[in-house]
Each structure stands twice: as C-alpha cells, then as structure tokens.
Amino acid sequence: MKTRDLAFFGLIGLTGLLLVTTLYWVFFKAPFEAVMGAAQKIFYFHVPAASALYLGAFVCFLGSAAYLVQATPQRDAFARAGADVAVTFGLMVLTSGPIWAKPIWGVYWTWEPRLMTSLLSVMIYVAYVVLRAFVGDGDGERKFSAALGVLGAANLPIIHYSVQKWGGNHPRVISNGGGGLAHPDMKIALSLGFATFACLAISMVWMRYRLHLAQARLVAAEEEAASLGLLEEEA
Amino acid sequence: MDTSTPMANQSSSLQSAKQADSQANTVFFGPGQAPPTGSSQPPKETPPTEFVGVTDQDPMRNFGFTVAAYSVIWFLVLGFVLRNWRRQAALENRLADIEKALTKGAKPADN
C-alpha cells in the first residue's frame, strides 16, 4: 500500500475513533443544559458541522482561485471536492438547526440574518455542484464554476458576523460576546465535536478529490481510446 | 416526543417584560436613555449567551429532537461515503479496462 493510501485510511480510522469518543462524551459525560434539556446536545454537532461547511467552502475557494491562475485537473478536482463537502455539511446545518429551533424557539425556521446568510451560502454551493453535474465538464464550465467558487466565499464572513452586526434570534455562545459553556465537560464535548468534524471534512474532501481525479483520468483515457478507434462511438 | 417549548412559551411574557423595562428606563433614566453600565440586566429577549449545565433534569426532555437531528447528520455522512465508495469502485474498474485496452490495442469490455 502506498504511503498516501496509508495516510488516507489512517485519517478515516482516526475520524471513526474521534466520532465514537465524541458521541460517548456528548451523551454520557456532558450534562444536560438547564433550559433546553436534551435538545441542546444538537449543539455539539450543529456548530462543528457549520465549521466544516466553512472548511469545505474554503477548500473550494482555494481550488477555484488556483484553477483560475493555472488550469489543471487537480485544482479543478480540489475545488469540486470542496463544494461537494460544503453542500453536505450545509445540509447538516440547515436540517439540525431547525430541528433544534423547534423546541426552543417554537418554530422550525425564522427569517433572521444568520439563517438567511447560511441558506444563501449553501444555495451557492448547491448551484456549483448542480452546474458541474448537469451542464458539462468543458473548459468554459470549469472556469465559470471556478469564478462561482471564488465569489461564493465572499458570503462566509457575512454568515459569521451577521449575528454580531444585525442581531436576530440565533444565540451567540462561543463567539465574541458569548458567555461560553459553563461546565468543563461541555467544553470537552464541543472540542471533540470540532476535532471530529474537521477530520471528517478533510476525509470527505480527500475522498471526493480522488473520485474527481479518477473521473478526469477516465475522460482522458476514453478520449485517447476513442481516437484510436478502440471505443465504439455512442449514437 | 416531548414538544415542550420553554423559550417559545416565554414569548408572550417578553412583550410585557419589554414594556416594563421601557417604563423603568423612562422613569429612572428618561426616554431613550440607556441605564448606566453595570446597573441593569440585559434585555429579556436577548438570545442566550451561555449554556449552563445541570444534572437534575429529566434526560428525556426534547430527546426526540436530538435523535432526529443526529439521525439526519449521520444519514448524510453515511450516504456520502457509500455513494462515493461505489462510484469510485465503478470508475476504477472502467479505467482499468480502458487502460488495459490501450496497452493491448483491444476493445475494452462493456460495463
């Protein structure tokens, strides 16, 4: 097995180990929150999922910017992998958040700044993924999606600072102005959640990068085979 | 599933609390004037900024929501990994066939 493959499967193993540890800590060590009860335990995965969304979006931004500087299949695959991961974690945030909001706010959704900006950001990355999946894989599509990947990142700081600038219902617990987590086991549970989701996001970016690179290699091989008459042209 | 809404139930009292605060400010500090720093509590409608742990709560309160949220999260992760795994395997097989065909100059097997 190659060193790179070993590192890949090692990272997946570490992610699994962290996941089990986090679940144990969240459900068996961290105490219940005074007002919200068990629903607050969603926090230990909801917030780290949001940070993983940022990570995926940042990877997409880096890959896209690098692709615009010099177009290579590797950079394009990196950007696509970031967008895929941003969409996956974005869906996690947008489903776990409303499920948490229902018992606490009384409604699943309210049109307030952080929720709006998060939804907008996820929709940008959904647009990126849909574009690449259905429109095609030509040079024009790649450049257009790279531009979308760069511009889409502009919304990330707006999500982060929306609560501070515009208020709203969304709690501000661990960022500036927040009171934090009162119990040490709550802090450990959240730290483990961040570590787990960071490893999970990196693993998923890596998985997706391998997939998109394999796709690019396959397209190149098919073109070569077709030019040699080894592939039957589809009608 | 427990659907108690502790903060939502307080919403009706928020308006009256806000009015009471407003009146207090009007009486003691004048209309539109903020009370001196450190002399007042934050407005009651401010979202929570601290999560306080307790050990004497009913552990099943709102537990259904927690289970639902965790189920969605891990369903998405599992779906992502399984779908990726299957597509990667299919791509690798197809690629191996074509590369073999390119090496030998023969037609690749149809998948």
Whether residue A193 contacts residue A22, with contact meaning beta carbons closer than 8 Å, is answered with yes
pLDDT at residue number A212: 93
Percent of chain B with pLDDT over 90: 20
Whether residue A14 contacts residue A195, with contact meaning beta carbons closer than 8 Å, is answered with no
Where does chain B show beta strands of DSSP type E? Answer: 50-51, 53-54
Q: Which residue of A has its CA nearest to B10?
A: A105
**How confident is the model over B3-7, as a mean pLDDT?**
43
> Please, what is the average pLDDT of chain A?
87
Burial (CB count <10 Å: 0-12, 13-18, 19+), residue A224: middle
According to the per-residue pLDDT averaged within each range, which of A69-83, A93-107, A110-124, A130-144 is highest?
A: A69-83
Q: Which residue of A has its CA nearest to B89?
A: A211
Whether residue A40 contacts residue A32, with contact meaning beta carbons closer than 8 Å, is answered with yes
Least confident of A53-57, A209-213, A221-225, B48-52: B48-52
Q: Which helix (H) or strand (E) holds A180?
A: strand A180-181
Whether residue A145 contacts residue A152, with contact meaning beta carbons closer than 8 Å, is answered with no
Report the b/e string of B66-104 with b at 16+ CB within 10 A. Answer: bebbbebbeebbeebeeebeeebeebeebbebbbebeee
> Is there a contact between A225 and B88 if contact means CB atoms under 8 Å apart?
no
Whether residue A75 contacts residue A97, with contact meaning beta carbons closer than 8 Å, is answered with no
Whether residue B80 contacts residue A88, with contact meaning beta carbons closer than 8 Å, is answered with yes
> Is there a contact between B69 and A46 if contact means CB atoms under 8 Å apart?
yes
**How confident is the model over B95-104, as a mean pLDDT?**
86
Least confident of A38-42, A92-96, B16-20: B16-20
Task: Give the HSE-up count for residue A143: Cα atoms under 13 Å, Cβ half-sphere.
Answer: 7
Task: Among A40, A46, A53, A114, pick the best mutation site for testing chain B contact (most B Cβ within 10 A).
Answer: A40
Q: Which residue has the higher pLDDT, B103 or A196?
A: A196
| Angle CA A130–A57–A88, to nearest 5 | 55
Q: State the residue for tokens 């008459």.
A: A229
Which tens digits make up the pLDDT trace of B26-69? 322 333 333 334 444 444 456 666 776 665 556 667 788 889 99
**How confident is the model over A26-37, as a mean pLDDT?**
84
pLDDT at residue number A107: 85
| Angle CA A161–A167–A169, to nearest 5 | 115
User: Quick one: pLDDT band at residue A127, thresholds 50, 70, 90?
Assistant: very high
User: Quick one: pLDDT band at residue B103, thresholds 50, 70, 90?
Assistant: confident
Helix A73-105 / helix A184-227 crossing angle, nearest 10 deg = 140
User: Quick one: pLDDT band at residue B5, thresholds 50, 70, 90?
Assistant: very low
Strand partners, A180: B50
A221 closest CB neighbour out of B77, B84, B98: B98
Is A104 an interface residue toward B (CB < 8 Å)? yes
Q: Which helix (H) or strand (E) holds A226?
A: helix A184-227
pLDDT at residue number A234: 45
Burial (CB count <10 Å: 0-12, 13-18, 19+), residue B3: exposed
Cα distances (angstroms) measured from residue A179 to each of A182, A183, A192:
8, 12, 19
**How confident is the model over A217-235, as a mean pLDDT?**
77
SS3 per residue for A202-216 = HHHHHHHHHHHHHHH
Task: Among A25, A99, A129, pick the best mutation site for testing chain B contact (most B Cβ within 10 A).
Answer: A99
For residue A101, what are the contacts with CB-CB under 8 A and spacing of at least 6?
Answer: A107, A108, A109, A110
pTM: 0.76
